[in-house]
A = this chain, B = another copy of it.
């Protein structure tokens, strides 16, 4: 008698129920799960995961591809994992540390059906090449992809940036410095264009000399402020790549006896918990909602019902720094 049959016999449950417990389906009573799991342990039964996969056609695993994890992507990944788990999926994180070969492992695992689908948080391989893997399973990206064949739930950051610019100009700040992240990213490009277009439309000067790049962390923010303070004319306001950079700028401004917001207004981006605690004006970024949408996309392509798409938007959160 196979161990599987032995479990059926000893537990008195049907093949379907035993199979559901082995497959970790949520549609089993706690009682059945407890009894069957106990017998599995007694028999030292190790389900062959691949055999299980063949019977259901799915591994119930989703791969998460990312070059690295920082605080912001952590928020996104945590919410994605939570949602996936609510739907019975486990997740595997493939962190490539920007190594193209290691990143490709995730895509190869999609091809060999080790995972049912992929979430791309950030990737370093050319999207044009990665999209060939779409034939093996669904993918969805948080990163903007620059081609529309790999679906992306990225939002256009220009929209949020414009909210910040409108807010600053309406409060009378017109000499605005920009502190960006990666100089060649689509997001930076989009933000820079939003700034230049908006200023021009208002008949205000575009201040390209004040652009700073690669400002990611609070330490980077401190350095950015020192550059502004040493650079002659201080801006009236600074628009930041994210809240961490803004917190660094705010703290360093205090040490330079620059009064915020009278001498320098600061606007962050993302609206992390600390931005409320530290009273930073910022742009609310609906990160958790984007993570849910990313999962719903994979869920639908895997053959399940469609979730009603909710339209997401950035919001200005005015606090003490403007």
Residues in A lying within 8 Å of B, measured CB to CB: 24, 37, 46, 49, 68-69, 71, 74, 77-78, 81-82, 85, 90-95, 97, 99, 101-102, 105, 108, 111-112, 114, 217-219, 221-222, 244, 247-248, 251-252, 273-274, 276-279
Considering residues A37, A68, A78, which has the most beta carbons from chain B within 10 angstroms of its beta carbon?
A78
A24 to B104, CA, bound (A): 12
* A95 partner residues in chain B, CB cutoff 8 A: 81, 91
Q: Given A46-B111, A93-B92, A97-B82 in contact, is the A218-B74 Cβ separation under 8 Å?
A: no
Task: Give the contacting residue for A101; candidates B24, B69, B97, B278; CB below 8 A.
Answer: B24
On whether the beta carbons of B112 and A49 are closer than 8 Å, the reply is yes
Give me 17 other A-B pairs in contact (C-beta within 8 A), A68-B78, A69-B77, A274-B274 excluded.
Answer: A37-B101, A46-B108, A46-B111, A46-B112, A69-B74, A71-B71, A74-B74, A81-B95, A85-B97, A85-B99, A93-B93, A219-B273, A219-B276, A222-B277, A247-B277, A248-B277, A251-B279
A69 to B77, CA, bound (A): 10
Residue of B whose beta carbon sits closest to that of A277: B218
> What residues on B are CB-neighbors of A93 within 8 Å?
91-93
A78 to B74, CA, bound (A): 11
When C-beta atoms are compared, the residue in chain B nearest to A97 turns out to be B85
Shortest beta-carbon distance from A176 to chain B in Å: 23
A261 to chain B, nearest CB (A): 16
Contact A219 B277 (CB under 8 A): yes
Tell me, in angstroms, the Cα distance from A184 to B203 when the chains sit together: 62
Check if B218 sits within 8 Å of A247, measured CB to CB: no
When A and B form their complex, which 7 residue pairs have the shortest distance between CB atoms, in order from nearest? A93-B93, A218-B277, A251-B277, A92-B92, A46-B112, A81-B95, A218-B274
Quick one: closest B residue to A37, CB to CB? Answer: B101
- Which B residues lie within 8 Å of A217 (CB)? 273
Which B residues touch A71, using CB under 8 A?
A: 71, 74
28 contacts between A and B (CB under 8 A): A24-B105, A46-B108, A46-B111, A46-B112, A69-B69, A69-B77, A71-B71, A71-B74, A74-B74, A81-B95, A81-B97, A82-B97, A85-B97, A85-B99, A85-B102, A91-B95, A92-B92, A92-B93, A93-B93, A218-B273, A219-B273, A222-B277, A244-B274, A247-B274, A251-B277, A251-B278, A251-B279, A252-B277
